[in-house]
Structure 1
Amino acid sequence: MGRFVARRLLQMIPVFFGTTLLIFVMVHALPGDPVAAMWGDKAPDPAQVAALKHQMGLDQPMWQQYLDYMGGLFTGDFGTTLANRPVLDVITEALPVTIRLALFAFAIEIVLGIGIGLFAGLRRGKVFDKSALIFTLLLISIPIPVLGFIFQTTFADNLHWVTPTVQDSNDITQLVLPALVLGSVSLAFVARLTRTSIAENIKADYVRTAVAKGLPQRKVIGTHLLRNSLIPVVTFLGTDLGSLMGGAIVTEGIFNVKGVGNALYHAINLKEGSTVSGFVVFLVVVYLAAGLIVDLLYAVLDPRIRYA
């Protein structure tokens, strides 16, 4: 196990550098001059533009900019925004909000998604199963902006259970509605994956053997059936955690959540390459860590899987 983890960690190094390089190049290849854009509609002073570019290192070749950025990254310097604010301050202010939102949505999709999928798989072909398939298909089909508008109209404007937009992003109770919207599509996929896996494995020989031994139904389902059916679900959940954090731009915009999505949206509009790259670095680390955890969970869920 230790050798496997060490090998996976070594494999992460080129992936990390390759991903950050790709994002860095793509961000800096965007059309327009971010420094000149600071003057708005006014004509910028060429001397001031040149001075600011030299101060920020934007007059260097792209490869030199990347090396300087990565060098500062490993010393805790993520660069500065065009407003001369440290990018690390922007990240530490926005990242905790998005982490709370993403974990809230993640918990919702695990509890509701696996729960719905489990009961639908056990009752395949019955009313609950057909209703679950229709419900999850609707969630997948409705775009997130439309779903957000429906939730706002229903739960905020009509029922008055919550406020239509988030007033305090640090108040976790106000993140319930955005978390439901953010995790809705993933919830549907988790439910359908769980339902399909349960329906297939319920006819497996090891389930028949457990039933024949007279084991209680709760133990047959929990220890044998559900545990072995969760491998495809865990694979999806591992990649989805990073998607929830990176894909919160639309949801945070709808509900006015001051998180990563909101900060990324403004940084992209202002063409602040250092800010975008800083957030992407964290998202890349999340994806890599989630992938490693998923691989380790395979051996926990299925005793036949062993990493020598």
Structure 2
Amino acid sequence: MGHYVMRRVLQMIPVFFGATFLIFVMVYGLPGDPIAAMFGDKAADPATVANLRHQYHLDEPWWKQYLIYMGNVFQLDFGTSFTGRPVSEIMADAFPVTIRLALVAFFFEIVIGLPLGLLAGLKRGSFGDTSVLIITLIVISIPVFVLGYIAQTVFAIDLGWVTATVQDSTDILQLLLPGLVLASLSLAYVARLTRTSIGENLRADYLRTAVAKGLPRRTIIGRHLLRNSLIPVVTFLGTDLGALMGGAIVTEGIFNIAGVGNILYKAIRTKEGPTVVGIVTVLVIVYLVASLVVDLLYAVLDPRIRYA
């Protein structure tokens, strides 16, 4: 098991450097001068511009800028935004908010998506199966921003059950509605993926053997069927946790949540390169850690994988 984990960790190293390198080049390779954009329509003093470009290493070749940035990252220094505020402070304020929102959305994916998929998979062709397919197809067809505005109008404005915007991001109850909206698309995919995986394994030889042995239905479903059917679902859930954090821009905008998505959107609009690169670097780490956890869960669900 130790060698299995070590191989996965070593594979993460080139992925991390490759991903951060591409992000860095794309952000700082965008047309336009971010230093000049700081002054807007006002004429900037050339000496001041040169000093700022030197301060942010923009007068260095791009490859040297990347090496300087990575050297600082390993010291947990993600640079300073063009407004003078350390990027680490910006992320310290934004990431806890988005993590809470993503965990709420992830909770909905598991407690709603998995049972719906299990019900549909075990009762294929039934009314429940057809209902799950129709409902999930409708959810997939509706854009997230439309679903968000519908949920906001119905539950906040018309019914008054919740506030239209999140007033306190530390209050989990206020994050339930935006969390459900954020999880809606992934929830539908989890349900459909679970249904398909269970349907395939129901026809497998090992399951017919378990039934022929006379094992209890609970044991057949819990120990044999679910354990093998959850492998593709775990893959999706593991990678989706990072996607929820990075893809919360629309949801955070609708519900006025000052999280990573909101900060990232504003940073892109204002060409705040250090903020964009710093946030995306952390998101890359989140993706890699989530992938590692998924690989470890593979080995738990199917011991044959660790010996492959």
* TM-score bracket for the superposition, by shorter chain length: over 0.9
Match of 1:93 in 2: 93
1:210 equivalenced with 2:206 (yes/no):
no
Structure 1 Cα separation of the partners of residues 96 and 40 of structure 2: 32
Task: Tell me the CA shift for residue 192 of structure 1.
Answer: 0.3
Q: Structure 1 residues 304 and 63, CA, compared in 2 at 3 Å: closer, same or farther?
A: closer
Match of 1:264 in 2: 264
Task: Tell me the CA shift for residue 302 of structure 1.
Answer: 2.2
Q: Which amino acid aligns with 1:32?
A: G
Match of 1:2 in 2: 2
Match of 2:142 in 1: 142
Match of 1:25 in 2: 25
1:107 equivalenced with 2:111 (yes/no):
no
Match of 2:166 in 1: 166
Match of 1:120 in 2: 120
Q: Structure 1 residues 303 and 67, CA, compared in 2 at 3 Å: closer, same or farther?
A: closer
SS for the counterpart of 1:230 is: helix
Structure 2 Cα separation of the partners of residues 100 and 10 of structure 1: 30
1:232 equivalenced with 2:232 (yes/no):
yes
Match of 2:292 in 1: 292
Match of 1:67 in 2: 67
Say how many residue pairs are matched.
Answer: 308
SS for the counterpart of 1:40 is: coil
SS for the counterpart of 1:57 is: coil
Structure 2 Cα separation of the partners of residues 222 and 184 of structure 1: 26
Contact 2:136 2:189 in 1 (8 A): yes
Structure 1 Cα separation of the partners of residues 304 and 66 of structure 2: 44
SS for the counterpart of 1:19 is: helix
Task: Tell me the CA shift for residue 5 of structure 1.
Answer: 1.3
Structure 2 Cα separation of the partners of residues 204 and 11 of structure 1: 33
Structure 2 Cα separation of the partners of residues 180 and 100 of structure 1: 12
Contact 2:117 2:190 in 1 (8 A): yes
Q: Trace 1:236-247 onto structure 2 (pairs within 5 A).
A: 236-247=236-247
**Between 42-51 and 242-251, the greater mean CA deviation after superposition:** 42-51
Instruction: Give the fraction of aligned pairs with identical amino acids, expressed as a percent.
Output: 70
Superimposed CA distance per residue, residues 216-243 of structure 1 (whole angstroms, 9 cap, x where no aligned partner): 2222111111111111111111111111
Q: Which amino acid aligns with 2:72?
A: G
Superimposed CA distance per residue, residues 114-166 of structure 1 (whole angstroms, 9 cap, x where no aligned partner): 10000011110010100100000011111011010111011111111111111
CA RMSD of aligned residues (A): 1.3
Structure 2 Cα separation of the partners of residues 254 and 39 of structure 1: 30
Superimposed CA distance per residue, residues 183-240 of structure 1 (whole angstroms, 9 cap, x where no aligned partner): 1000000000100111121122222222233322222111111111111111111111
Structure 2 Cα separation of the partners of residues 105 and 125 of structure 1: 29
Structure 2 Cα separation of the partners of residues 3 and 226 of structure 1: 27
Match of 2:57 in 1: 57
Match of 1:278 in 2: 278
Structure 1 Cα separation of the partners of residues 6 and 55 of structure 2: 40
SS for the counterpart of 1:192 is: helix
Stretches of structure 1 lacking an aligned partner (at least 5 in a row): none
Stretches of structure 2 lacking an aligned partner (at least 5 in a row): none
Structure 2 Cα separation of the partners of residues 282 and 183 of structure 1: 21
Q: Trace 1:39-58 onto structure 2 (pairs within 5 A).
A: 39-58=39-58
Q: Which amino acid aligns with 1:258?
A: A
Task: Tell me the CA shift for residue 58 of structure 1.
Answer: 1.5
Q: Structure 1 residues 195 and 50, CA, compared in 2 at 3 Å: closer, same or farther?
A: same
Q: TM-score, normalised by structure 2?
A: 0.96
**Between 50-59 and 209-218, the greater mean CA deviation after superposition:** 209-218
SS for the counterpart of 1:35 is: helix
Superimposed CA distance per residue, residues 240-260 of structure 1 (whole angstroms, 9 cap, x where no aligned partner): 111111111111111111110
Q: TM-score, normalised by structure 1?
A: 0.96
Q: Which amino acid aligns with 2:254?
A: I
Structure 2 Cα separation of the partners of residues 307 and 295 of structure 1: 13
Q: Which amino acid aligns with 1:89?
A: E
